[in-house]
Each structure stands twice: as structure tokens, then as C-alpha cells.
Amino acid sequence: MKIGILCTDGVRPELVKIYGDYPSMFECLLHASNVSKTSLFFKTYETHKGEFPESIHDEDAFLITGSKLSVYDKVDWINSLEKFIGKLFASNKKIVGICFGHQIIAQSLGGKVEKSRNGWQIGVRTAHSVATPSEEQNNLGQFNLIYSHQDEVKSAPEAAEISASTETCQNVMMKIGNNVLTFQGHPEFSVEYALELLKLREDLYDDNHLEKARKSLKSLSADDEKVGRLIVDFLLQ
């Protein structure tokens, strides 16, 4: 299977040498989660620099990464990405979205994204399944992921099924039919990388919030492989 990674941001230069870039993080996650050992081939498109596939048929499926920007920012490449997502969805292409990717897919298909009333959500958070019976095969039950966001999907597209929520975010996993699967959390992040991000962005958070996030990263295990397996299974089904 050929998977196109639509990269919507870059890792800080001082961290790339240690943790790799975002596409390599996803490649590691999905290869490690590929129990069936089906061949997965990846190609990165630097979408945040205006690079897109020439055709939606260049790849079998697409994955949209996280970004420091908001999906409602008036930026040319974000507008182009929304149009590209619309074409993918209309052609029943498989689409996976993570964080910003989760939000831009929702917005592109009729949902609404805005700043969370709960502010920044950082560290490891526990999500609980709210899946409907039709989603039983994609039900993760309770699962932990690393989060780093202040925007959220306030209202999902009409056709979407909300699959999981946390105490502070009602939509952290979304599915639309058999071709869209998205997560607000970051299964591709390692604990070490998340801690480095907190250090670099600590001016954005109040001290109490920051300390809770650090403690959660050191005391709670993220279910990266569990989520990774679900993503791979979704892509291959």
C-alpha cells in the first residue's frame, strides 16, 4: 500500500537529529503496528510549503499530520489542503488525520473548529469510547494518548461518528464511513519528544498545568501501538 503523508509542519531543527521529522515518526509507528506485515510504502509531501500530489490517485491513502497553525488561519496552503481533502473524500480515498489533521478534515467536511474553553490540553490524557454499535470493530475502549492542542472540533461533520472523548474534549476520535479516521491525540509522539516540546513551549502554559502534564508523561503509558494497529487495520481493510 502506498501512503502519502501530507506534512503540515516541521520539527524544530535542534530536535530533528534526535527524534526525526514528523513523517519518520509516523513511518516508525505504522511499521511497528503492522501485524500483518503488508508492505507499506510512504511518500512525504511538504504541504505546509505548498507541495501536493499531482493527483489524488498518486497514493492509495493519505495521512495528515499535526501543525502549530490553526485550521482557521487564513493561509493559502490550508485553503488548498481543504480543497484536496474534499476531492479525496468525494473519491472515497482513505484519509487519516492527527491533531491538526483531525481538525482540518472535520472543517473541510462541514464541521466547526475553534479554541477550546479549557485552554491548552497537554500531556497524557485518557479517552473513553463513545462508539455506536456500528463502530464496534473500531472500538478502542479506554485508551491513553499524548495531547498537545488548544483548538478542538466543536461540531463534527454531519456524517461523522464520534468514537471517543476525554474529560476536557468531546471529540478526540472521529470516523466517517470506511474512508476517514482521525485522532486529536498524537500516537506518533514519544514521551521524550513530548517532554522536549513542553520545555520549548513552557511560556505558553501556567505552572500548574505544565507540572500536571509532565507528571502524566512520566506516570501514564500512552497506547501508541494500540492506536497504531487500529490505523493500519483501517488503511488495509
Question: Whose grid coordinates read 503523508?
Answer: 5
Residue 188 annotated to the active site: yes
Measured between alpha carbons, how far is 154 from 132 in angstroms, rounded to an integer?
19
Residue 99 annotated to the active site: yes
Residue 186 annotated to the active site: yes
Question: The pTM is what?
Answer: 0.95
Q: Between helices 207-219 and 191-200, what is the axis angle to 10°?
A: 170
Burial 12-30 (b: 16+ CB within 10 A, else e): eeebeeebbbbbbbbbebb
Q: Which triple of cell numbers denotes residue 130?
A: 463513545
Q: Check 7, 27, 59, 99 and give the catalytic one.
A: 99
Asked if the model's pLDDT at residue 90 lies above 80, the reply is yes
Give the class (CATH, top level) of 2-236. Answer: alpha beta
**What tens digit of pLDDT does each residue of 107-153 get?**
999 999 999 999 999 999 999 988 655 555 556 889 999 999 999 99
Q: Identify the pLDDT of residue 140.
A: 80
Rg over alpha carbons for the chain, rounded to the nearest Å, is 16
Per domain, the residue ranges of the chain are 2-236
